[in-house]
Amino acid sequence: MDPLLELKHVSYAYHTKSGETYALTDISFQVQRGEFLAIVGPSGCGKSTLLSLISGLILPEDGTILRSGMPGASPHSSIGYMLQKDHLFDWRTVYRNVTLGLEIRHELNKRTRLHVDQMLKDYDLYRFRNAVPSELSGGMRQRAALIRTLALDPELLLLDEPFSALDFQTRLSVCDDIYAILRKEKKTAILVTHDLSEAVSMADRILVLSQRPARIREVIRVSFAREGLSPFARRNEPEFKDYFNQIWAALNPVSPGKEPA
Amino acid sequence: MSIEKFVPVSASQAAYLKRLKHRQYRIAGIRLLIFAVFLLLWETAVQRSWIDGFIFSSPSRIWNTFSAMWTDGSIFTHAGITVLETLISFAFVVVLGTSSAILLWCSDSLSEILEPYLVVLNSLPKSALAPLLIVWLGANSKSIIVAGMSVAIFGTILNLYTGFCAVDPDKIRLIYTLGGTQKDVLGKVILPGTVPLLLSVMKVNIGLCLVGVIIGEFIGARQGLGYLIIYGSQVFKLDWVIMSIALLCIIAILLYGAIGFAEKQCLKKR
């Protein structure tokens, strides 16, 4: 079976009047169904560009992106994208916010409404469906944003630092929430983050990118002796700090000689 | 306000609210007092012949003029025509201004091409156009309505367009990630997101339309408060002039208040 997503030698540059900026060079990797992939790298290295390419918002200058073995149309309907901030619209109720995607795609029907209602109930937002977003806490807003994405039933979820706007405490609990929801809904996900512990606590595999123009510096497979741990529980396991150090070393090579090929 | 909610209030909170209320009363009282003192001084100054009532008029003369014109009904014609022309030109400004701003937003090239023209037209003193309009369109309501529009329309387009462009690009990106098109961006983000801006721009515009209409009436009208002011000054009936100005103050307040009320209702619903 083809991987859900495959990138082959993808490169991208931004063009401005003052010159071009190479954001990504020769990026190749695959994502299997059900996998949780994290992408870490120094800030401004082109991580978000990578997600925009995968989602089809922008097209690669070089290389190919295959979705389930097929070159995809843009923007691809089977890909859900969660941005850094929740961007819930204040002029809509929570319910009308989470159904925004369905409304745009003209897929708002009895079946999808039932699906949305069920998710709102499962994730403890049903009581607030007629509230306005400003009445929700940060964690609830993030869950609502996730439901908005999941309502379109995407195969692949792109998470662009979805917790970075939250304070640390909320962040840990929302991270657990979102992870549990993604596992329950059996979604494949790609998480972009600059927070190394977040990557280790959630991912099955971690892609370490270099400074801009980003290349893949290292791919680290993450497996814990105890399986099925929540992100928070992972933080207390002995392997956690080993992975953390491994990524840290990959991001900060001491000398060029030590840099992994 | 949440003060109205029935909850037990601590003594210090109650004291604070009381102070707040007293302050509001005091401010309202002083405002009224200033107005009353002004009227009284004006009236006394004329009565005692400190100033010439023929030139400066007086509150009582204004009142007499007003009641005379009320009885013969001419005040309704003049004020009515001015208000009507203002409302019509305001309606055109709302529709044309908003749709032009949308067009500019839709096409980056168009907005770049037209920008210098809009800036020049916006900074041009529109009263300079009024004589031209009268010649082109004739001395009728048509040119007065166009004069009213001309004062407000370019500022409206520029303000709304700037507001549209200031919408968070990530919100627009969200629509695209959900599979939307430019039409969805406009309908789901730009327009609903800029309703408060639209309302505040309109609140200013209704006043500007009134300015334009008065300018138009100065030059080419046989009716309306602008006409009454010009005619009154030419025949030295300054009671007419000052009464018309007083009426214009009241009309301006009412129009502004009406839009402000609509704004409050609209924002409360959201």
Q: Cα–Cα distance between B42 and A126 in angstroms, integer?
A: 65
Domain that holds residue B99: 59-268
| Same domain, residue pair B39 and B127 | no
Report whether B153 contacts B97 (CB < 8 A). yes
Q: Does B139 reside within a domain?
A: yes
Task: Decide if B177 and A85 are in contact by the 8 Å CB cutoff.
Answer: no
Host H or E run for residue B104: helix B74-106
Task: Decide if A89 and B189 are in contact by the 8 Å CB cutoff.
Answer: yes
Contacts of A244 (CB under 8 A, 6+ apart): A196, A197, A200
| Same domain, residue pair B38 and B69 | no
| Same domain, residue pair B161 and B242 | yes
> Which of A87, A116, A160 has the most B C-beta neighbours within 10 Å, making it the best mutation to test the interface with B?
A87
pLDDT for position B226: 94
| Same domain, residue pair B31 and B143 | no
Pick the more confident residue, A88 or B1: A88
> Is the ipTM beyond the 0.90 threshold?
no
Q: Cα–Cα distance between A176 and A143 in angstroms, integer?
A: 11
| Same domain, residue pair B46 and B16 | yes
Q: Does B1 reside within a domain?
A: no
pLDDT for position A210: 87
pLDDT for position B119: 92
Report whether B210 contacts B252 (CB < 8 A). yes
Token representation of residue B102: 């949308």
Nearest-neighbour CA in chain A from B174: distance (Å): 7
Please report, as a single letter, which amino acid is at residue B121: L
* Closest of A223, A138, A127, A129 to residue A178, by C-alpha: A138
Is some CB atom of chain A closer than 8 A to the CB atom of B183? no
Give pLDDT tens digits along chain A (261 positions): 678 888 999 999 888 888 888 888 889 999 998 899 999 988 777 888 899 898 888 888 888 888 877 776 555 668 899 888 889 999 999 999 999 999 999 989 999 999 999 999 988 899 999 999 999 988 889 889 989 999 998 889 999 988 887 888 888 888 888 898 888 888 899 999 988 989 999 999 999 998 878 888 889 998 888 888 889 899 988 889 999 999 998 888 765 554 444
pLDDT for position A75: 55
Q: Does B3 reside within a domain?
A: no
Report whether B181 contacts A106 (CB < 8 A). no
pLDDT for position A255: 54
| Same domain, residue pair B26 and B137 | no
Token representation of residue B252: 């301006």
Report whether A53 contacts A5 (CB < 8 A). no
Q: Does B259 reside within a domain?
A: yes
User: Which CATH number covers residue B242?
Assistant: 1.10.3720.10
| Same domain, residue pair B106 and B217 | yes
Q: Cα–Cα distance between A199 and A211 in angstroms, integer?
A: 18
**Backbone dihedral angles phi then psi of residue A80, each to the nearest 5 degrees:** -105, 145
Please count the structural domains in chain B.
2
Burial class (CB in 10 A: 0-12, 13-18, 19+), B12: exposed
* B243 pLDDT tier (thresholds 50, 70, 90): very high
pLDDT for position A43: 79
Q: Does B102 reside within a domain?
A: yes
Is some CB atom of chain B closer than 8 A to the CB atom of A135? no
Average pLDDT over every residue of B211-218? 94
Task: Decide if B177 and A105 are in contact by the 8 Å CB cutoff.
Answer: no
* B5 pLDDT tier (thresholds 50, 70, 90): low
Q: Cα–Cα distance between B61 and B63 in angstroms, integer?
A: 5
Report whether A206 contacts A40 (CB < 8 A). yes
Task: Decide if A89 and B193 are in contact by the 8 Å CB cutoff.
Answer: yes
Report whether A160 contacts A192 (CB < 8 A). yes
3-state secondary structure at position A195: coil
| Same domain, residue pair B148 and B112 | yes
Q: Does B2 reside within a domain?
A: no
| Same domain, residue pair B82 and B142 | yes
Burial class (CB in 10 A: 0-12, 13-18, 19+), B166: exposed
Give contacts of A 159-198 with B, CB under 8 A: none
Chain A residues in contact with B193 by the CB 8 A cut-off are 89, 91
Q: Which chain B residue lies closest to A150 (C-alpha atoms)? A: B178
Share of chain B above pLDDT 70, in %: 97
| Same domain, residue pair B30 and B125 | no
| Same domain, residue pair B136 and B215 | yes
Q: Which chain B residue lies closest to A134 (C-alpha atoms)? A: B270
Residue holding tokens 């964690």? A139
pLDDT tens-digit map of B114-166:
999 999 999 999 888 888 998 999 888 999 999 999 999 999 999 999 999 99
Chain A residues in contact with B173 by the CB 8 A cut-off are 57, 83
Q: Does B4 reside within a domain?
A: no
Cite the beta strand spans of chain A per DSSP E: 5-16, 19-31, 36-40, 62-67, 70-71, 79-82, 156-160, 188-193, 205-209, 216-221
pLDDT for position A261: 44
Task: Decide if A84 and B178 are in contact by the 8 Å CB cutoff.
Answer: no
pLDDT beyond 60 at B4: no
| Same domain, residue pair B102 and B213 | yes
pLDDT for position A74: 52
Q: Does B115 reside within a domain?
A: yes
